[in-house]
Structure 1
């Protein structure tokens, strides 16, 4: 379903368009009951996979892999006391990727039959042979052992599709009521749910069955001053997670308070949407009369929900090896962090900055057992105490940087799209020394605390950037003093990470994340998480977003 179709289908009002669009996974609308029907059993998937692999080899492929995918999605959308739309989609088909004559070829089909799958495999080989006429160097795949027949299933407690729609609507409307009861003028809410049922097989000898779940409850709250016409909004501080419906059963132990005086609550592995909606309404009313920030240099204390976006844009994307090599350029640019730049040994950040990549962390959106090339997932270090030591790479890229194995971060949004290098989870290590949020704030003489991610911009090299947030509080002499508004900070990647003075310990570690991160042409969407603890950055340039220039 593309965005145009989705907006036309839902008929959401202008306020509802502030909510993220439904993931564009090309599904067809189905009855919600269909989301609970079983798909193909593993034996049938293996038989179809062998049809594809044998057809590809018979046509001349030296390597082939096949992905049989069933993608289920549901979005529920409300506004104040109304349900605006409920959309359930399913997408099912087969994608075949091959190497023939040293060149990649790919074809896909929704004709899931012996004849249809064999035809797609033959077409993929024909495409590869045609591409070989302009290929300058043959594809070099990093060696990959076959795993035989294995499976991986997300460790969810409750499949969100099994929860009655009425129950899910009820909690969204209750969140809307919590917001309006606390002074909100308008509120939109939504619940996104995804289940990827993916089967991968290759001529390496792997037959991998995986069942992946993601969920995201979210809202937008707005308060209006009728006299002046001024309005302010706040988005939910929820985080999309690789979990089931248990995420919406709040646990007191999963709540993490911001610094004293900030009225901010963060959430770990469960989320209290009613509490967050009520708190958001109170905060947007305060934002209407909050002091506008005075531009200048400030020490920033950044909540994990906010910092995740900065990690995503200034570390996650620029260290994707295809951007580094210039293969990815049209969608949001390439990267300043080239291999030539890395060889110079220029620090990426301060000694306090160690950033790791992985597709393992439980409940994260990037967590899977194997990637879409059949590579077992792992964790690896990107930045070690401020020094860039590695990139994010897949099988046909490893040799370019002198390595012998993939990092296991290849992904495709559906069976009908070719898999390619995507960002894994990218996370900032918390401090190994005990450090609370209040202790971190106590060391700041003049600063700003920022929670939630807002608007941002970053240049085509992922270098010069500007980031906003949801709520802002002044810090003076180690204490939160008042709410601020119109805050954004401008920096460049090296200055920003170089200014990192430290983080809180693991007790404050939380995820931020993105449900539909776009990349590639044709564009594909993926989901990724970013972990961190609350962190401090010294001497960052803050601007006032409300002031006119000139």
Structure 2
């Protein structure tokens, strides 16, 4: 059960069977294996062995994470099942402070001697690390919670749904897309269950049961005469929910150019619509480059938020800790200290939130045993805060951590990861249709696609799935080959309208990588439809020069 036992999935193509770059974690288990959780009393006994052993060896602080991680992936193509993967990973990670420095060790052998040996090793590593310290670790104070628990509020556990039911759904989705005009169709279900137990020398014993689900597809249509092809991916949002997410309700439907759902997802309808839309997309005219007012749907805007707001407000990036791999941030400490850095227009209010029900990042407590919370990052267009964990809080004068520490496995060291970061809805009653009426020359963009952004999260380019031309307040047809370019500050200062909370929806990343060795986390980003004025649009099909 080695956490780093990754299989790299081949890139998706006509003959491919898997998505690219998604890790398979742990050992394979039978597809019909029953779902269960480990008894909390047993986990407490195991955690106490580690806590006592570390203290006996001189640790001044210890935390223990016992994790059982379940992953299930169902992968289909047209009328065939291409792969079904069921994995389990189970073990313990022990983190300590000794001589003012961090040390970490892990084991998948959960007997008394193996746990005690791992705790001893963690302390020994901390003592060696201390020889290189310039200053000791400063942990923000954290009162122990005692014995507490938290569960994702699901209605139906997706791991208990028979594999046949999942396969039947995906094949039905594929069939609907082919009948509606698609030539090729891949569909997927990704399920994750994290059963995590945290204990610390602060006096916390926290048991959590976390569920996430992501239904996804990619469909393609080709012109056999010209060789031209178009594709459209699912507009689904990965969520922190159970199987109920796959049971659509009429009251959740948002009707417009592309029928979308807020709290539930109709995969068949999305695939059927998508197949019809790529037929239209094949005939769509190529965009004329220039300045346009953009109306960005939440299914698109989440990715722009993720890259241009979520990442640059991570304090470890700001401090340069991620410079070697993931980059730094243009939101340096002097901008925050000024208390007046103009990040965006006064309409722009962006919050970090680890408590939002249904989001990917929702947990009761982070992987340092800190109760989760909500806080402002951008307030009325001004940078007011970052995302911070326990050993960073003192750097910006915070009395406690914000609860955004995470590790994607029991044998990974927890570190600062992105909270759910979301643009808050507008305060005035405003729908996307109302917004479009006031646009003379614009583009309405739905769905996320390719992007590029520099290492400081400042200069960027984004494209989408669907583009609709707006003239004189009306949608006049579909466009193609659209991408927009801006820098982060310029872009968010061009925000001139945000729809109200009735349009608010989540998007998100199921596999967001960071760190060395790389770890993956899941994070949501919410927004209502928003307008951005006079943004530079380029034609992606035209060659420069």
- Interval of TM-score (by shorter of Structure 1 and Structure 2): over 0.9
| Equivalent position of 2:183 in the other structure | 185
**Aligned with residue 307 of structure 1, among 296, 301, 312:** 301
Query: What TM-score do the two structures reach when normalised by structure 1?
Result: 0.97
**Aligned with residue 359 of structure 1, among 354, 358, 363:** 354
**Aligned with residue 84 of structure 1, among 82, 85, 91:** 82
CA distance in structure 2 between the partners assigned to 1:346 and 1:159 by the alignment: 45
CA distance in structure 2 between the partners assigned to 1:187 and 1:122 by the alignment: 52
CA distance in structure 2 between the partners assigned to 1:88 and 1:2 by the alignment: 16
* Structure 2 CA distance for partners of 1:181 and 1:25, relative to 1, 3 Å: closer
**Aligned with residue 7 of structure 2, among 2, 5, 9:** 5
2:290–2:538 Cα contact (<8 Å) kept: yes
* Structure 2 CA distance for partners of 1:458 and 1:503, relative to 1, 3 Å: same
- SS of the residue corresponding to residue 355 of structure 2 reads coil
**Aligned with residue 436 of structure 1, among 406, 426, 431:** 431
**1:331 to partner: Cα distance:** 2.6
Farther off after superposition, 11-20 or 245-254: 11-20
| Equivalent position of 2:276 in the other structure | 282
Query: What TM-score do the two structures reach when normalised by structure 2?
Result: 0.97
| Equivalent position of 2:477 in the other structure | 482
Matches within 5 A, 1:62-73: 62-73=60-71
CA distance in structure 1 between the partners assigned to 2:485 and 2:260 by the alignment: 25
**Aligned with residue 381 of structure 2, among 374, 386, 406:** 386
**Aligned with residue 376 of structure 1, among 367, 371, 374:** 371
| Equivalent position of 2:285 in the other structure | 291
2:286–2:480 Cα contact (<8 Å) kept: yes
- SS of the residue corresponding to residue 343 of structure 1 reads helix
**Aligned with residue 464 of structure 2, among 460, 466, 469:** 469
CA distance in structure 2 between the partners assigned to 1:100 and 1:15 by the alignment: 53
Farther off after superposition, 147-156 or 326-335: 326-335
| Equivalent position of 2:344 in the other structure | 349
Q: Deviations over 1:39-94 (max 9, x none)?
A: 42000000000000001111110000000000000000000000000000000000
CA distance in structure 2 between the partners assigned to 1:227 and 1:3 by the alignment: 45
1:457–1:467 Cα contact (<8 Å) kept: yes
CA distance in structure 2 between the partners assigned to 1:29 and 1:122 by the alignment: 31
2:12–2:18 Cα contact (<8 Å) kept: no
- SS of the residue corresponding to residue 7 of structure 1 reads coil
Matches within 5 A, 1:473-512: 473-512=468-507
Q: Does 2:163 match 1:165?
A: yes
* Structure 2 CA distance for partners of 1:432 and 1:3, relative to 1, 3 Å: farther
- SS of the residue corresponding to residue 193 of structure 2 reads strand
| Equivalent position of 2:32 in the other structure | 33
2:35–2:160 Cα contact (<8 Å) kept: no
* Structure 2 CA distance for partners of 1:3 and 1:133, relative to 1, 3 Å: closer
CA distance in structure 1 between the partners assigned to 2:26 and 2:377 by the alignment: 35
* Structure 2 CA distance for partners of 1:2 and 1:227, relative to 1, 3 Å: farther
CA distance in structure 1 between the partners assigned to 2:285 and 2:37 by the alignment: 56
**1:115 to partner: Cα distance:** 1.0
Q: Deviations over 1:140-163 (max 9, x none)?
A: 000000000000011101111111
* Structure 2 CA distance for partners of 1:213 and 1:404, relative to 1, 3 Å: same
2:5–2:25 Cα contact (<8 Å) kept: no
**1:14 to partner: Cα distance:** 4.3
| Equivalent position of 1:146 in the other structure | 144
**1:32 to partner: Cα distance:** 2.0
* Structure 2 CA distance for partners of 1:3 and 1:200, relative to 1, 3 Å: closer
| Equivalent position of 2:102 in the other structure | 104
* Structure 2 CA distance for partners of 1:90 and 1:376, relative to 1, 3 Å: same
- SS of the residue corresponding to residue 47 of structure 2 reads helix
1:459–1:465 Cα contact (<8 Å) kept: yes
Structure 2 unaligned residues grouped into runs of 5+: none
**1:180 to partner: Cα distance:** 0.2
2:287–2:539 Cα contact (<8 Å) kept: yes
Q: Deviations over 1:364-416 (max 9, x none)?
A: 00000000000000100000010000000000000000111100000000101
| Equivalent position of 1:241 in the other structure | 239
CA distance in structure 2 between the partners assigned to 1:415 and 1:178 by the alignment: 41
**1:237 to partner: Cα distance:** 0.3
- SS of the residue corresponding to residue 201 of structure 1 reads strand
Output the aligned Cα RMSD. 1.4
**Aligned with residue 314 of structure 2, among 315, 320, 339:** 320
**1:33 to partner: Cα distance:** 2.8
- SS of the residue corresponding to residue 5 of structure 1 reads coil
Q: How many residues align?
A: 542
* Structure 2 CA distance for partners of 1:240 and 1:19, relative to 1, 3 Å: same
* Structure 2 CA distance for partners of 1:478 and 1:215, relative to 1, 3 Å: same
**1:26 to partner: Cα distance:** 2.8
- SS of the residue corresponding to residue 32 of structure 2 reads helix
* Structure 2 CA distance for partners of 1:90 and 1:18, relative to 1, 3 Å: closer
